[in-house]
Amino acid sequence: MGKKIYEDFHEKTLIQKKLIKANNFTYRHILYFINKYAVNKKNVVDIGCGAGTLCFYIANKEIEVLGVDVSSKAIKTCQESSKSMGLDKLAKFKVADFPNKSINRKFDLVVFTEVIEHLHDDKLALEKIFTMLNKGGIVIITTPSLNAPLYRLGYANNFDKKVGHLRRYTVKSLSLLCKEAGLKIIETEKVEGILRNFLFLNPYAGKSIRFIKYFISDFVTLIDNLLIPVFGESNIIIVAKKN
C-alpha cells in the first residue's frame, strides 16, 4: 500500500513553470537552510523530491541536482517541469525506492525534507545518506515534531495516517539517530508554530495558503514564530555533516 499512497498523491501534481521565491510560505524554512548550505556545493540530491520544487530552486543557482522519488508519476512531472523551465541540463530526476534501493553516487549536499517519517527503516536511511556524502558533505533533514501541539491534542492523527507518517521525532531523538549513523550535528532548529501547522492540516483553512504571498508571508510567519515558545514547534530541522 505504501507506494500507492504517493502515486495517488501525485496524480494531480501539475507541471511547474516558474521558480519559488525565498519567502515562499510553504518552503521558506527549508529554503533558508538551502541558501545557507548550498553555497559552493557542486552537486546535490533531493531524496523524496516530490514535484521537484526544491530541485528547480537549487538548479537555478547553477548547481547540479538529482531529484529522486518513489513515485514514477512525480518523476515524470518533474522531468516535464524541468524542460519547461529550461533547467533540464542541471536538474535530473529518477525513480528510486530509497533506502531499499541505493543511490550509487556521492554528493556535497543531501536534502532530506519531510521523508524520514515515512520510511520503515529510518536508521538504514541515515546510514545510506552517510555513505552518499562526500567528506565534509552536509545533510538537511526536516520532519514533523513529536511535540507539535495539534499532534498532542490528537488533531493530526488522521492527517499522519492519510499521508503515510509512521512516526514523529524530537530534536533529541533525531539527533541521536544521526550521530549513530556517523554524522556530526551542525545545528538544529524548531520551526512552524501552531498557526502555520493548522493551515497545513486543515483542508478548509489550507485553501488560504495560496494567498499568503509577499509581505503577507512575512507577517504570518512573524506571528507564527512568536507562538512557538508558547505552544511548541510542529516541525524540526537538523543539519548534520560527514567529517
Secondary structure string (H, E, C) spanning 142-169: EEEECCCHHHHCCCCHHHHHHHCCCCCE
- pLDDT above 70: residue 2: no
Residue 12 pLDDT class (50, 70, 90 cuts): confident
Cell of 1: 500500500
Other Cβ atoms within 10 Å of 42 Cβ, number: 10
CA distance 37 to 97: 26
140-193 per-position pLDDT tens digit? 999 999 999 999 999 999 999 999 999 999 999 999 999 999 999 999 999 999
Residue 14 pLDDT class (50, 70, 90 cuts): confident
58-96 per-position pLDDT tens digit? 999 999 999 999 999 999 999 999 999 999 999 999 999
Cell of 138: 552536509
**Mean per-residue pLDDT of the chain:** 95
**Cβ-contact 143, 92 below 8 angstroms:** no
- Residue ranges of domains in the chain: 2-241
Other Cβ atoms within 10 Å of 202 Cβ, number: 14
Question: Would you tell me which CATH number, out of the four given (3.40.50.150, 3.30.110.30, 3.30.70.20, 2.115.10.20), belongs to the domain 2-241?
Answer: 3.40.50.150
Backbone angles phi, psi at 61, to 5 degrees: -90, 15
